[in-house]
Structure 1
């Protein structure tokens, strides 16, 4: 699950920070320092569900902004897809929502 969390964060940050002709954001980029796999693994091992949700929600908010906000078609779709994630009460409920978000963010970047 750590890899999926990291991928959602990476794709979100790519939408926000990458520009045409600019350097791509990679997993070892400083922008990813709080969103790397080992950081998520640490939070998962501690069972810190709220911290994980907060980190991912920050990234999703950046992606929403990059997509033009909630009034655009892509922004509305991101909000719709993120609903299952934000309503998840357990890590088991969170995982399928993360996979859906990862797929969407990968497609729109």
Structure 2
């Protein structure tokens, strides 16, 4: 799950900060320091769903802003998926909504 969380964060930050013609943002970039696999791994081991939600929500906010907000079709769908993820209360339920977020973010890159 840590890799999946890191991937969602990476795709969000790519949407927010990567520009055409510039170097791509990679997992080891300094911008990823708060969203590294180890950071998410600690939260997963603790079972801290609330902290995971906060980390993912930070990234979602950046991605939403980058694609024009919830007033745009891409933003509405991202918001819908993010809300579905945010409503999950247990670690066991996080996988499916997280995969949906990852897949959507990958598609809109």
Q: TM-score, normalised by structure 1?
A: 0.97
Distance 2:61 2:92 in 1: 22
Give the stretch that moved more between structures: 8-17 or 79-88: 79-88
Please say if residues 67 and 74 of structure 1, whose CA atoms lie closer than 8 Å, have aligned partners that are also in contact: yes
Structure 1 residue 45 and structure 2 residue 45: aligned? yes
For residues 1-109 of structure 1, the aligned pairs below 5 Å read 1-109=1-109
Which 10-residue stretch deviates more, 7-16 or 48-57?
48-57
The 8 Å contact of residues 4 and 102 in structure 1, kept in 2 or not, is answered as yes
SS in 2 for 1:101: helix
Q: CA RMSD in A?
A: 0.7
Normalising by structure 2, we get a TM-score of: 0.97
Paired residue total: 109
Which ranges of 4 or more aligned residues in structure 1 deviate by more than 4 Å?
A: none
